Structure 1
């Protein structure tokens, strides 16, 4: 009977692992990347099967002395953690700054915007003159580099110029491609945005 029970438990564990419904200590949200309507925009389905499973949104064990609501960005492993408390966090896959644009430090969320306007900074326009046409701002939309949401990072010196934002480029998650901003898949930034409060602490490691 004991061997039979062990066999049943092993089969259940294997079934769960194959289905991708859970992770150690929490739940995986692989099914939450379908097409959706948001503020009148039709967000397309993300082909999540093409994104490595480790970058799918999932609740994980994460011991931290930081209070719930804090965001911790692990640039090396390309993860963003939203601290929930009780040793748990929601983890998202991210894209980070490419070589020469990496940074680390502590900031806070000063502003939150749904379907934001994107204005390329002057240094970016200098590097990419073709962006000059957006010097006055690129209107919100499915092709906007900031995606469905943006949260603006400030420190004691004011606006750092960095954002936590969505991106239509789901294929960039897990890679170092940005100019220093932290990008998430659009469905993930919407989820994170709803969890995060203005004033939240952000630690970039």
Structure 2
């Protein structure tokens, strides 16, 4: 099954002339939304979550602790029951639930909260994770620079770092031998997890993408549910 794009996205692609050019634009950082009145009270955050999303000064670029008042508890990383016909090692993205699963043995999976493509930029189907990069460089496509001229300074690539649009790690998604230009990548904006905010890329908290990076083997199947 090939990756599919909804009709709204096809209309956008027609106007821009290229799926590959547009899809990479989804990896750009977005302005964080305003604080919600229902954000998690600090007193209700469990200690294991604080430890899991601690600061990571040991990284090449130190990663700050996640502000867990901006993250719904259902998006905390955790092992869950997940019976599936997909083999262990498969990565499954469920856009409707805003979750990513790394399938394990015994009918379980490690589950992560994610941010996904906004309306008109969704995608689904089967592909594979060709390779990954630690602290990758991000280069915005020309179509995105045309919409956001301030990004022209990164035409030759945004250097790696905590403010890089791809965050601490990135997985590069291929369909056959073709780079789809979709990415699974990190973010330092917890308020975007659980939201439809990108133009196709799937984002995880930096702490979660670092954890996932240690688990996923390059070449692993990727399934994005419709």
TM-score scaled by structure 2? 0.76
Shift in Å at residue 30 of structure 1?
5.4
- Paired residues of 1:119 and 1:136 also in contact (CA < 8 A): yes
Q: Aligned residue for 2:120?
A: 100
d(CA) in 1 for partners of 2:50, 2:164: 24
**Structure 1 or 2: larger strand share?**
1
Q: Aligned residue for 2:38?
A: none
TM-score scaled by structure 1? 0.84
Q: Aligned residue for 1:139?
A: 159
Equivalences for residues 129-168 of structure 1 within 5 A: 129-156=149-176, 158-168=178-188
d(CA) in 1 for partners of 2:58, 2:159: 16
SS at match of 2:146: helix
- Paired residues of 2:92 and 2:222 also in contact (CA < 8 A): yes
1:74 aligns with 2:74: no
Bigger Cα Rg: 1
Shift in Å at residue 132 of structure 1?
1.6
Q: Aligned residue for 2:76?
A: 56
Structure 1 runs not aligned, ≥5 long: 1-17, 22-27
Shift in Å at residue 20 of structure 1?
5.1
Of 41, 55, 67, which aligns to 1:35? 55
Cα RMSD (Å) of the superposition?
Answer: 1.7
Q: Aligned residue for 1:174?
A: 194
1:38-82 superposed Cα distances (whole Å, 9 cap, x missing partner): 443111000123311000001000001111110000001100000
1:125 aligns with 2:145: yes
Q: Aligned residue for 1:12?
A: none
Aligned residues: 182
- Paired residues of 1:166 and 1:185 also in contact (CA < 8 A): yes
- Paired residues of 1:29 and 1:58 also in contact (CA < 8 A): no
Q: Aligned residue for 2:136?
A: 116
Q: Aligned residue for 2:213?
A: 193
